């Protein structure tokens, strides 16, 4: 079966839209109560399964888990796509950021959606939707690390907001509390990348990850205490994590039948976008998809671009976005990762914590309420 799109229930694309609606005292998808200002915290890589499994290291976060505390992030579960959905309220098929590395049809090259901006990949054009910061009628501020303040991805996904560079997790929460302390309605997006880095380096059971989770939990606690009356805070994430050991790497280039006719291998190791040679006959493309299903269908979703669009994996897909999606997509269901050893970097092969596919561990993220966002 092809995994579907966002599905029912709370989802990441509704978080910022609902916060802004609550600031207008309007009904909203997340049923947030009215609040003067909001702080929306995105903890990169904090899956709900990891939070539940390690609740003793995150007592404040865990104490906020309730009936409406799990949200779904869309397809794919990769940072660039998920954050852009958060900040635009749109699905990847509309905003155009459909993976970690995707094809730029104009230049026939793969483009890293976090760091590969420039040239034909203009942030103002490639990311096709106005951000909610651009359309909001209140002050909009992003609080994040200094290294991201001038990045192409920031220009694409966070345009319209004032960027306040702050290094240090606790310091970011302090800055957010200060920014929302006045009577002026303000929405703050606060980004925490440190936990994702720890998971990539050592996995979600490593000492580094647990220390990072404890640091986030402490910062949320102090940030919650510092919120002014009438200010709500939501804590969510872009994706969860699956730990993949090195002996679970699948080298696709060692199996010629799986790469014959493939021009580019994009996406993530847990969600491949396979872009085929443009002159490949239809029967050959169909045959390649069948070979993948025969070889990997027992532990991966294998589907064509047309099947992905029909199932709503990327939400509604605009014509301009369609060629950015792989002709064939391979999403891991088990704790494995697919690599083309001819092109994979050493740093990519060294990652333990991974994401990108459609498992519950990757798609289900926290949606935790603090301050004025708490439900009565």
Give the whole-number percent of the chain exceeding pLDDT 90. Answer: 93
Kindly state the average pLDDT of the residues 95-111: 97
CATH number assigned to the domain comprising residue 182: 3.40.720.10
| pLDDT band (50, 70, 90) for residue 5 | low
Q: What is the mean pLDDT of the chain?
A: 95
Kindly state the average pLDDT of the residues 116-124: 91
Asked if residue 126 is part of any domain, the answer here is yes
Long-range Cβ contact pairs of 126-129 (< 8 A, separation 24 or more): 126/96, 126/97, 126/156, 127/84, 127/88, 127/95, 127/96, 127/97, 127/156, 127/157, 128/94, 128/95, 128/96, 128/318, 128/320, 128/321, 129/88, 129/89, 129/90, 129/94, 129/95, 129/96
Q: For 347-358, what is each residue's pLDDT tens digit?
A: 999 999 999 999
Cα–Cα nearest to 361, from 243, 187, 224: 243
236 lies in the same domain as 327: no
Give the whole-number percent of the chain exceeding pLDDT 70. Answer: 97
pTM for the full predicted model:
0.96
Q: For 140-182, what is each residue's pLDDT tens digit?
A: 999 999 999 999 999 999 999 999 999 999 999 999 999 999 9
196 lies in the same domain as 154: yes
pLDDT at 120: 85
189 lies in the same domain as 229: yes
pLDDT at 4: 62
Asked if residue 158 is part of any domain, the answer here is yes
304 lies in the same domain as 217: no
Tokens of 6: 């966002």
Residue 66, pLDDT > 60, answer: yes
Asked if residue 106 is part of any domain, the answer here is no
Q: For 261-319, what is each residue's pLDDT tens digit?
A: 999 999 999 999 999 999 999 899 999 999 999 999 999 999 999 999 999 999 999 99
**What is residue 121's DSSP assignment?**
B
pLDDT at 141: 98
**What is residue 34's DSSP assignment?**
P
Number of structural domains in the chain: 2
18 lies in the same domain as 123: yes
Locate the DSSP E strands across the chain.
37-43, 70-72, 101-104, 109-112, 139-144, 162-165, 186-192, 231-236, 242-243, 249-251, 262-268, 271-276, 300-304, 328-332, 337-339, 353-354, 364-366, 368-371
Q: Which residue segment(s) compose the domain that 54 sits in?
A: 12-100+113-241+358-371
93 lies in the same domain as 141: yes
- Gyration radius of the chain's alpha carbons: 20
349 lies in the same domain as 301: yes
Asked if residue 107 is part of any domain, the answer here is no
Q: For 223-233, what is each residue's pLDDT tens digit?
A: 999 999 999 99
Asked if residue 93 is part of any domain, the answer here is yes
Q: For 232-245, what is each residue's pLDDT tens digit?
A: 999 999 999 999 99
Q: Cβ-count burial of 372 within 10 angstroms (0-12 exposed, 13-18 middle, 19+ buried)? A: buried
209 lies in the same domain as 228: yes
pLDDT at 364: 95
69 lies in the same domain as 19: yes
229 lies in the same domain as 263: no
Asked if residue 205 is part of any domain, the answer here is yes
Residue 2, pLDDT > 70, answer: no
Q: At what angle do helices 207-226 and 194-202 cross, to 10 degrees?
A: 170
Asked if residue 337 is part of any domain, the answer here is yes
Asked if residue 87 is part of any domain, the answer here is yes
Tokens of 294: 């025969």
Kindly state the average pLDDT of the residues 190-204: 98
Residue 91, pLDDT > 60, answer: yes
139 lies in the same domain as 283: no
pLDDT at 118: 86
Residue 8, pLDDT > 70, answer: no
174 lies in the same domain as 285: no
CATH number assigned to the domain comprising residue 317: 3.30.1360.180
Cα–Cα nearest to 71, from 47, 52, 92, 94: 47
Kindly state the average pLDDT of the residues 334-345: 95
């Amino acid at each position: 079966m092809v995994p579907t799109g966002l599905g029912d229930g709370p989802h990441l694309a509704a978080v910022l839209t609902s916060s802004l609606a609550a600031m207008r005292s309007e009904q909203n998808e997340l049923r947030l109560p009215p609040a003067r200002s909001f702080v929306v915290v995105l903890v990169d890589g904090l899956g709900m399964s990891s939070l539940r499994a390690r609740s003793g290291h995150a007592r404040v976060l865990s104490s906020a888990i309730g009936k409406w505390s799990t949200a779904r992030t869309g397809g794919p579960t990769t940072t660039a796509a998920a954050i852009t959905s958060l900040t635009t309220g749109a699905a990847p098929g509309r905003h155009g950021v459909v993976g970690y590395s995707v094809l730029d049809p104009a230049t026939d090259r793969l483009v890293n959606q976090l760091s590969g901006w420039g040239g034909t990949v203009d942030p103002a054009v490639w990311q096709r939707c106005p951000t909610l910061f651009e359309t909001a009628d209140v002050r909009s501020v992003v609080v994040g690390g200094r290294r991201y303040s001038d990045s192409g991805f920031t220009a694409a996904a966070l345009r319209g907001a004032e960027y306040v560079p702050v290094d240090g997790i606790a310091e970011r929460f302090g800055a957010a509390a200060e920014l929302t302390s006045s009577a002026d309605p303000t929405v703050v997006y606060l980004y925490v990348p440190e936990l994702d880095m720890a998971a990539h380096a050592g996995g979600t059971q490593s000492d580094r990850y647990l220390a990072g989770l404890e640091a986030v939990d402490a910062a949320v606690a102090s940030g919650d205490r510092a919120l002014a009356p009438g200010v709500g805070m939501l804590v969510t994430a872009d994706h969860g994590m699956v730990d993949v050991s090195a002996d679970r790497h699948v080298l696709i280039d060692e199996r010629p039948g799986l790469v014959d006719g493939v021009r580019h291998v994009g996406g993530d190791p847990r969600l491949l976008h396979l872009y085929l040679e443009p002159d490949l006959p239809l029967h050959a493309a169909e045959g390649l998809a069948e070979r993948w299903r025969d070889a990997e269908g027992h532990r991966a979703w294998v589907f064509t671009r047309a099947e992905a669009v029909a199932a709503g994996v990327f939400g509604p897909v605009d014509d301009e976005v369609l060629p950015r999606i792989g002709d064939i997509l391979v999403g891991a269901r088990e704790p494995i990762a697919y690599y083309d050893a001819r092109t994979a970097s050493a740093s990519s092969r060294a990652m333990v914590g991974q994401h990108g596919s459609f498992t519950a561990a990757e798609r289900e993220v926290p949606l935790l309420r603090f301050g004025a966002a708490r439900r009565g």
